[in-house]
Amino acid sequence: MDDIVKAAMLKWPNVPHCYGWLGLDARGQWYMRDATTQMAGAFGSSSQAQGSLLRHQKLVDFIQRNYQSASQGPNKGQWYFQNGPQRVYVELAVTPLIWRVQDDFSLVAHTGLHAELSACWLDEYGRLYAQTPQGYGLIHTQDVLLASNAIEQGIWTIQEMQAQHMPSTFGYILSPSVQNKAT
């Protein structure tokens, strides 16, 4: 977490959380979702509900450096961007991390986080997922061929699970805004 963010949290400790305004798609891209976009439906349910793709690289880098999960309390399993003193909870299209497979079959998340595979999962749609000590996420679609090489060589072993069971099994919340409205 950036030092400037830590300082802001100390200066303003009681800023309300923000829900529904930021989304992460299945390719590791960030979307800003205004009120009209949020009224169009759940993140990713349609092009009108997606929002505006963030293209400003310094902003994207700032979000990614300050992106983490709530590990305890009522927001446990929800991923957020710590924007100064405010937590901006993220709507997830599929998983909290999107993994890129490297030539040596190691993984790098959309945030730049490096990891080694602990387990590999396949869902009923043919999507491939990676469990690592650093977190759980979807293998980027552009890297499925490279991942299949790891599987064919016996480096990775696939387990199967239905997509609907993954959030509860791996402890993440797809839509903090829906959960927040329910509580």
58-62 contacts, C-beta under 8 A, 24 or more apart: 60/30, 62/2
pLDDT tens, residue by residue, 20-76 = 999 999 999 999 999 999 999 999 888 889 999 999 999 999 999 999 999 888 899
Residue 51's region, left for phi above 0, alpha for psi from -120 to 50, else beta, is left
Residue 11's pLDDT is 74
Residue 181's pLDDT is 72
CA torsion through residues 29, 45, 49, 177, sign: negative
- Residue 60's alpha-carbon distances to 56, 68, 81, in angstroms, are 6, 14, 11
Residues facing residue 82 across a β-bridge = 87
In this structure, the chain runs to a length of: 183
Six-digit token pair at 39? Answer: 């009224």
**96 contacts 117 by C-beta, under 8 angstroms:** no
What are the boundaries of each domain within the chain?
Answer: 3-94+171-182, 97-166
**147 contacts 99 by C-beta, under 8 angstroms:** no
Residues facing residue 138 across a β-bridge = 98, 129
Q: How confident is the model at residue 158 (pLDDT cuts 50, 70, 90)?
A: very high
pLDDT at residue 4 above 80? no
Residue 107's pLDDT is 98
* Closest to 127 (Cα-Cα) out of 80, 93, 172, 152: 93
Half-sphere exposure of 173 (CA within 13 A, CB side): 23
What's CA 83's distance to the chain center, in Å? 16
* Sheet of strand 107-109: strand arrangement: 114-115, 107-109, 97-101, 135-139, 128-132, 119-122, 158-160
pLDDT at residue 115 above 70? yes
- Residue 26's alpha-carbon distances to 3, 15, 139, 154, 179, in angstroms, are 29, 30, 9, 26, 21
Half-sphere exposure of 60 (CA within 13 A, CB side): 14
Residue 12's pLDDT is 67
